[in-house]
Amino acid sequence: MNAKYTLILLFTLLLTGCSLEELPEATTTKGPIFSSENGLVLYTNSFYNILNGKNLHRADAMSDYLARKDSPAFITPGNYSAQVSTGWSWSDLRNINYFIHNCNSPNVPVTVRKNYLGIARFFRAWFYFDKVKRFGDVPWINKPLDVSDTEILYKERDSRVMVMDSVLADLDYACQNITTPSEPTRSLITKYVAYAFKARVSLMKEPSGNTIRN
């Protein structure tokens, strides 16, 4: 009988000494992501889905086909209306702003962090350039929002000039801080891709016909 009670006592001690709470293997916290360059690479790779045309950024061979296949309905003559208009989605922006807000770990060298922040700001500029082309005035949001941020969630649109000045500021940062000058697969954003996109954005005019900024 004593042996039975001894076994029960040992089993009870074993259970109380173990934690029964365990995170799933597919779950992670922001610490491992932002505290290593590999984590920054994996996170910024998610931004490439923003580019127009599915898989367009992965190779040149499909670009002409996809440009025709993925043209939005609103640019087809006779198809534009409030019922078919799309694009008022902001989840990609929150993903980018979350990265920019949290990419500050001292475990990663400053120049490495700035490189990936430059890539993130390139994609924020791309995101807003597309929104301005489609909608004109849009709200400028430069931080990850929470459901409690109701004032910002329902804010008025900012002026087109203010938004485009912010876009160019993001591209200036990208041009100055992305360290990769070229990439042999032509699949990733490099310094000179940022310069090329800045040149394109700089040609955009105000409604009055004046250039926003050099």
User: Residue 98: its pLDDT value, please?
Assistant: 95
User: Residue 73: its pLDDT value, please?
Assistant: 56
Q: pLDDT tens digits for 120-147?
A: 999 999 999 999 988 889 999 999 887 7
CB of 189 closer than 8 Å to CB of 119: yes
CB of 214 closer than 8 Å to CB of 202: yes
pLDDT confidence band for 212 (50 / 70 / 90): very low
User: Residue 125: its pLDDT value, please?
Assistant: 97
pLDDT confidence band for 209 (50 / 70 / 90): very low
Q: pLDDT tens digits for 32-87?
A: 889 999 999 999 999 998 886 545 445 455 455 555 555 555 556 555 555 556 67
In this prediction the pTM is 0.71
User: Residue 208: its pLDDT value, please?
Assistant: 44
Q: pLDDT tens digits for 148-203?
A: 778 888 889 999 999 999 999 999 999 999 998 888 877 899 999 999 999 999 98
Domains of the chain: 29-76+83-202 (1.25.40.390)
User: Angle at CA 55, nearest 5°, toward 33 and 52?
Assistant: 90
Residue 33 CA to residue 42 CA, distance in Å, equals: 8
Residue 193 CA to residue 102 CA, distance in Å, equals: 25
CB of 53 closer than 8 Å to CB of 72: no
